[in-house]
């Protein structure tokens, strides 16, 4: 929903991109669009569907503007930090940490906490170790977390589990085994998407059953909601689940 103070100015532009993105994805998923993508792009004067979706981002203060991927990621990490400030923890692990960007930000906010990251990409882990010597990184799959049972207070992910469809059952089982208190997942859950987002995520092969698998593993979900920013066809959802005492 566009904030009323800027609705009049932005609605024409927003509608143009919304209609364009809808037409493009109907073409991609159903193949029923009578016109070619080239003809649609020419009419709406926009380069491609990916660029369009980036122009349809709403941020948490309800203002509307273009956001790049780094801005979106920074807002997501800040939301995570806000949640952590209200919780007691001594250790934290990020699965799918990449080059360690998220943990670097969190380490500045929580310098006395033990932080760990793991990623399956060897080059990313090498970069993370160079840039963040105070954080321990491991090159391994999230389906085989190299920690003892109940050894990490908080485990989190930011748009990482979306890439783990093939090993999802093992990943959830490992989260359950290693986590001592809670997991915080910030992922594009299908439950928070519109119909275009669901189709988009299915097309990319993202897992569609993370929520149900977390429940089945024996976690108690204390928070589940959509976050009010990001790519409108790949919305970020927040799931916080705790170990049952």
Q: CATH code at 186?
A: 3.40.50.150
One domain for residues 95 and 12:
no
Residue 188 lies in a domain: yes
Q: What is the pLDDT of residues 107-163, one digit of tens each?
A: 988 999 999 999 999 999 999 999 899 999 999 999 999 999 999 999 999 999 999
- DSSP class per residue in 44-95: HT-S-HHHHHHTT-B-TTS-B----HHHHHHHHHHHHHHHHTTS--SEEEEE
One domain for residues 142 and 201:
yes
User: Residue 233 pLDDT > 50, yes or no?
Assistant: yes
Of 63-67, 173-177, 190-194, 233-237, the least confident: 63-67
3-class SS of residue 15: helix
Number of structural domains found in the chain: 2
Residue 34 lies in a domain: yes
CA-nearest of 76, 213, 51 to 158 is: 76
**Among all chains, which residue has been given the structure tokens 């809808």?**
22
Residue 209 lies in a domain: yes
Which residue range forms the structural domain that includes residue 13? Answer: 7-54
One domain for residues 93 and 168:
yes
Query: What is the residue-averaged pLDDT of the chain?
Result: 78
User: Residue 235 pLDDT > 50, yes or no?
Assistant: yes
Residue 184 lies in a domain: yes
One domain for residues 45 and 97:
no
Residue 2 lies in a domain: no
One domain for residues 217 and 157:
yes
| Token pair in block for residue 244 | 């049952």
Of 2-6, 95-99, 197-201, the least confident: 2-6
pTM attached to this predicted model: 0.73
Stretch 49-59: mean pLDDT: 43
One domain for residues 26 and 116:
no
């Amino acid at each position: 929903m566009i904030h009323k103070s800027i609705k009049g100015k932005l609605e024409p532009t927003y509608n143009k991109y919304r209609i364009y993105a809808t037409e493009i994805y109907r073409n991609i998923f159903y193949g029923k669009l009578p016109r070619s993508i080239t003809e649609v792009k020419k009419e709406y004067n926009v380069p491609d569907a990916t660029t369009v979706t980036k122009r349809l981002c709403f941020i948490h203060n309800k203002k509307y503007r273009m956001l790049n991927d780094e801005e979106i990621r920074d807002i997501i990490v800040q939301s995570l930090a806000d949640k952590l400030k209200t919780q007691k923890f001594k250790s934290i692990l990020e699965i799918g940490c990449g080059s360690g960007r998220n943990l670097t930000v969190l380490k500045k906010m929580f310098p006395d906490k033990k932080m760990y990251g793991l990623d399956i990409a060897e080059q990313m882990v090498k970069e993370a170790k160079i840039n963040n010597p105070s954080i321990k990184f491991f090159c391994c799959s999230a389906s085989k977390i190299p920690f003892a049972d109940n050894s990490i207070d908080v485990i989190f992910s930011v748009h990482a589990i979306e890439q783990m469809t093939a090993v999802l059952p093992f990943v959830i089982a490992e989260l359950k085994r290693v986590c001592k208190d809670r997991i915080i997942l910030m992922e594009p859950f299908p439950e928070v998407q519109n119909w275009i987002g669901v189709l988009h995520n299915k097309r990319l092969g993202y897992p569609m059953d993370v929520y149900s698998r977390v429940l089945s593993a024996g976690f108690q979900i204390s928070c589940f909601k959509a976050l009010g920013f990001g790519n409108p066809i790949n919305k970020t959802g927040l799931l916080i689940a705790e170990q049952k005492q």
